[in-house]
Amino acid sequence: MKHSSMLLLLLGLSLLAGCASHSSPELRPYSAEESRELALEALNRRGLSFDEYQREKAQLMGQPRKVQGFDGQGEISADRGSNRHSPQS
């Protein structure tokens, strides 16, 4: 009886010691993908305007920012395209 209770006590102590000394995942460094995801989540929470958000996101993703602007054709009348599709006489 004394032998089995000592064995049970040692088993319990080793179990508790194993649970107390687990390695924390917080101590390992983040991978590049995890860091990028965390930065994007933080960016979403900042409440920036659309242009600021797009600029910051492009910078985080390592992409050149696309310049948005007009195409240089100017205004085009809606009637201009209708002549192409009319049946020929």
Name the DSSP class of 20: H
Task: Give the predicted TM-score (pTM) of the model.
Answer: 0.42
Contact present, 40 and 57 (Cβ < 8 Å): yes
- pLDDT band for 42, please (50, 70, 90 cuts): very high
* Chain centroid offset of residue 11 CA: 44
Note the pLDDT tens digit of each residue in 51-80. 999 999 999 888 765 666 666 666 666 665
